[in-house]
Structure 1
Amino acid sequence: MSIQGCSDASWLADFAEEPRVSYYANTVNLLEQNSIRSEDNGTARDLEHVKRRVKTLIKQSPYLAFEGVDSDFWTDMILSDLGDADNYSEHNLFLGIFYLTFFPNVTNLTLPWSSPGGVPYHDNKRAIDQYELVLDAIAQESRSENNRRALSKLKRLTYLLAPNYDTHQRLQFLLPLLTLPKLEELYANSLTAIDFHQEFKWIYYDIHSNLQTIELVHCCMDAVGISELLAHTPKLTTLKYGHASKHHGMEAYWDAGEFVAAIEKQVGSQLRHLAVTVEIDAINGINAGVTSMHGFTKLETLELDLLLLYGPGVDSGEKAGILNTPPNPGYAKWTVDATPPLWKILPACVREFKLFAHSLQSMGIDGKAMILLYDGFRSARPSCLPNLDHCAVRFAVRSGGQYIPRYEEICKHLEAESVEHHVLLANRRLQRDGWEILP
């Protein structure tokens, strides 16, 4: 069942006349029209009749009867979403959230919202309080004994926004849905979880998430934000994260070392699949790099971005980039010559490793780093990485003729160290190749 853009009012009228219609849906897409849709597109039914039925439906909703929920406000906002006012909530957020209350058997859900756009400043906090209350109600009821619990069977949640510099949504917005009892997979983009102004706090102290897989692309998070999320995912085995700066330079200089260290601390003993990369041309640089991953004791597959390994180690206290913090006493200032070899960084348990290199030129990275990373790799591999079956480097370029510094020299070195390599064309106009490259 697909409700295009959360703006098809005829579905609400259908649900008012026959509630069982929504019980049959197990896949719901509020983002695009690609499946079943209502036969009534709003033209065959008198609009005023639709509004009357919708108003009745709203007033009867048990999810709008929770303490603090203002059903009159929801009525106004939903009817505004349906075009009964002057575009008060242009993203159809309230109508979309109300739709969620009708689906007790959905297992696969796709959502599109960024924020309640168009809400006047004086009503913004009220709007946030109201949609948070109803999302909390949905999460709370999903764990009850009610036979018609909305989203109580949801296993896969996909949250898609425009993957660009200006568009983002706080991870906090999705928190209630992350506590749904059957939810196992989260796929999302353009989420933020940054200390202070975009912070993420897990407020359900007696509830953990049952997520097993998390894939985040074009997201903007720091070590504090990812740590807060992963501290409540005891069943997580797969984590994939693609970093990007967001508007006003949010995390344009990223502390990749602290970020990976936070992952290691929270779920290093349970993760089997990990990928951490940087979206192409999405940041200005990093503050610190990754120098050891031995705390990941069960990792089978690993993919890292070259950028994560290009910078001072966390232990040194040095921060590169705009911070330009000097190293602690006893540590020399980082240069490319300090790049440690991969056989010292990677955990012995890893079976497959891929390095994603796309910023040699745009970030001014010295090609020497690639040579140093793989220095002595072949000879050290049997003793230091005994489980490694597959090792590869992917060079991503914008065009077939794009220059990669010291490319031929690097390739000869990789071949001598028995490392597979190839060039990947990352064209924004084409379907993305791999989760970490957005169109």
Structure 2
Amino acid sequence: MPLLNLPSELLRQIIWESVPEGFEHLILSCRTLYDCGKPFIQQHRIRKKRYRLMSIQGSFDASWLAGFAEEPIISYYATTVDLLKQNGFKSDDNGTVRDREDTKQRVQTLIKQSPYLALEGVDPKFWIDMILRDLGDADNYSDHNLFLGVFYLTFFPNVTDLILPWSVPGGIPFHDHERASHQFELVLNGITRGSRSEFSRRALGKLKRLSYLLIPDYNIHQRLQFILPFLCLPKLEELHANSLTAIDFHQDFKWTQSERFSSLQTIEFVHCCMDAVGISELLAHTPNLTVFKYGHASKHHGLGSYWDAGEFVAAIEKLVGGQLRHLAVTVEINSINGIDAGVTSMHGFKKLEILEMDLLAFYGPSIESGEKAGILDRSPNPGYKKWTVDAIPPLFKTLPTCLQQFSIFAHSWNNMCIDGKTMMLLYNGFRSARPSYLPNLNRCTVRFAVQSRGQYIPCYEEVCKQLGAEGIEYSVLLVDPRSRRDDWEIL
């Protein structure tokens, strides 16, 4: 039977089922469907405007979940979901909404009916307990709202931009920690598997951009392993994250999604702590990656405080050097104690157009020498001399010929004992060698960073004189290392 020959009540039901994704296309397809769907138009417009961006800050009352229980269609309107400010809002009703028994019952029913909590191994009773604790229904020891937040994610099939704040599974007591970790991993993995279904309303099935934002602080970090399920979402193109760790033997990262690769094209890590082993495990599963930005910082108990920049960049070069278009590798100001090995060659980056590097990345012995500076203090292999700053090769011999834009970020002069000699060695003979070694380079800059107006940059005038003679643009920026994000950062 042709669609338009159906009774009007069936047509209205079909139109209602198309809300919100296909509603506008359907009612605009012909006059009959428009007239039939006209009663829904105003409500659709209001909801589209109100719920397109959802900042779910009401994690201390059940009104959001109660609303989803009553009308699940509300969550279908969201294309951007921000859970970052979950902990910053309490309703003004002093808990009257939360404490209403009918609201509580609707929420419990909603939890019990969730297909994501009916997966093998998932304990719905445990989730009910944890979510109600997150909502303030009991002594709230899950104070980061992880279980509530994960449950929220199951309602959003059309979200393209997602902002998450979780650092740990909350203040869960030790005896429940292993159980809790296993439970939220099961559900997150279930969301990932379901997102690949042909059914159009699967949670996070359309997610393109994920922002995982913690406070960029020495004492705050989360293992990269925690967000692995999100990295396997089928439409995910961009990842922006901070304070993640992937260090061999300490905060190791393993790609446990067998036969799955990430569709990521852009990765931006700020204030993260990773080594060559950890980053290799990730990049080995990102075949579409073209932009990679990384800002290194040590974490609590000195994790990553001595960093092997040479091995790190070599790992990037080995795994995605043939495809990257934009690479940035920087070090947070005053965030490390030393460099184990430096970068001496980047010719494996065959398509790189934009490169932004930290001066510190070049300040160390070559990988080939086998020497490790810093706390490791490993002697060089036979035939190699002990590294000194004089061994730093000029940039025109280090950089790939395909490069179009290059920037150096110079900072931490005092605590790293770096003097102006490093800069002069890097740019020695740059102008004369540039046409033959770097024929595609059209812009080259240096960005000095200082933390106070009176701070001294060793040999500053001499360095600037040489930079000018070599045709290099340069600037000095006053920075505040305590700021979460500032315009001095390359990333």
Same fold by TM-score, threshold 0.5 exceeded?
Answer: yes
RMSD between superposed Cα atoms in Å: 1.8
Q: Mapping of 1:16-415 within 5 angstroms?
A: 16-32=69-85, 43-44=96-97, 46-415=99-468
8 A contact 2:55–2:85 mirrored in 1: yes
Instruction: Please give the alpha-carbon distance, in whole angstroms, between the structure 1 residues aligned to 2:202 and 2:467.
Output: 55
The structure whose RCO (Cα within 8 Å, separation 6+) is larger is 1
8 A contact 1:222–1:254 mirrored in 2: yes
Task: Please state how far the C-alpha of 1:253 moved relative to its aligned partner.
Answer: 0.1
Instruction: Please give the alpha-carbon distance, in whole angstroms, between the structure 2 residues aligned to 1:426 and 1:120.
Output: 40
Identity percentage of aligned residues: 73
2:21: which partner in 1?
Answer: none
Whose Rg is larger?
2
8 A contact 1:10–1:38 mirrored in 2: no
Task: Please state how far the C-alpha of 1:362 moved relative to its aligned partner.
Answer: 2.3
Deviations 1:56-107 (A, max 9, x none): 1110000001100011110110011111222221101000000000000000
Instruction: Please give the alpha-carbon distance, in whole angstroms, between the structure 2 residues aligned to 1:410 and 1:140.
Output: 55
Instruction: Please give the alpha-carbon distance, in whole angstroms, between the structure 2 residues aligned to 1:407 and 1:56.
Output: 68
| Distance change in 2, residues 1:39/1:179 (3 Å) | farther
| Distance change in 2, residues 1:5/1:327 (3 Å) | farther
Deviations 1:312-343 (A, max 9, x none): 00110000000000000000000011010000
2:19: which partner in 1?
Answer: none
Task: Please state how far the C-alpha of 1:50 moved relative to its aligned partner.
Answer: 2.1
| Structure that is richer in helix per residue | 2
2:45: which partner in 1?
Answer: none
| Structure 1 range deviating more: 226-235 or 422-431 | 422-431
Task: Please state how far the C-alpha of 1:425 moved relative to its aligned partner.
Answer: 1.4
Structure 1: gaps spanning 5 or more residues: none
Task: Please state how far the C-alpha of 1:53 moved relative to its aligned partner.
Answer: 1.2
How high is the TM-score relative to the length of structure 1?
0.96
Instruction: Please give the alpha-carbon distance, in whole angstroms, between the structure 1 residues aligned to 2:60 and 2:460.
Output: 51
> What SS class does the counterpart of residue 63 from structure 1 fall into?
helix
2:65: which partner in 1?
Answer: 12
Q: Kindly provide the amino acid, as one letter, of the partner of residue 360 in structure 2.
A: L
> What SS class does the counterpart of residue 177 from structure 1 fall into?
helix
8 A contact 2:270–2:294 mirrored in 1: yes
Instruction: Please give the alpha-carbon distance, in whole angstroms, between the structure 2 residues aligned to 1:139 and 1:278.
Output: 33
Task: Please state how far the C-alpha of 1:434 moved relative to its aligned partner.
Answer: 4.2
How high is the TM-score relative to the length of structure 2?
0.86
Deviations 1:6-36 (A, max 9, x none): 4452110000000000000000000138xxx
Instruction: Please give the alpha-carbon distance, in whole angstroms, between the structure 2 residues aligned to 1:424 and 1:392.
Output: 13
Deviations 1:272-317 (A, max 9, x none): 0000000111111110000000000000000000000000001100
Deviations 1:380-429 (A, max 9, x none): 00000000000000001112221111111100010010000000111246
2:10: which partner in 1?
Answer: none
8 A contact 1:7–1:95 mirrored in 2: no
Instruction: Please give the alpha-carbon distance, in whole angstroms, between the structure 1 residues aligned to 2:101 and 2:456.
Output: 62
2:11: which partner in 1?
Answer: none
> What SS class does the counterpart of residue 127 from structure 1 fall into?
helix
Task: Please state how far the C-alpha of 1:137 moved relative to its aligned partner.
Answer: 0.3
Q: Kindly provide the amino acid, as one letter, of the partner of residue 56 in structure 1.
A: T
Count residues in correspondence: 435
| Distance change in 2, residues 1:103/1:69 (3 Å) | same
Task: Please state how far the C-alpha of 1:146 moved relative to its aligned partner.
Answer: 2.2
8 A contact 2:214–2:243 mirrored in 1: yes
2:20: which partner in 1?
Answer: none
Instruction: Please give the alpha-carbon distance, in whole angstroms, between the structure 2 residues aligned to 1:45 and 1:121.
Output: 28
| Distance change in 2, residues 1:372/1:274 (3 Å) | same
Instruction: Please give the alpha-carbon distance, in whole angstroms, between the structure 1 residues aligned to 2:236 and 2:444.
Output: 33
8 A contact 1:217–1:435 mirrored in 2: no
Structure 2: gaps spanning 5 or more residues: 1-53
| Distance change in 2, residues 1:427/1:99 (3 Å) | same
Q: Kindly provide the amino acid, as one letter, of the partner of residue 146 in structure 1.
A: F
Q: Kindly provide the amino acid, as one letter, of the partner of residue 208 in structure 2.
A: K
8 A contact 1:352–1:388 mirrored in 2: yes
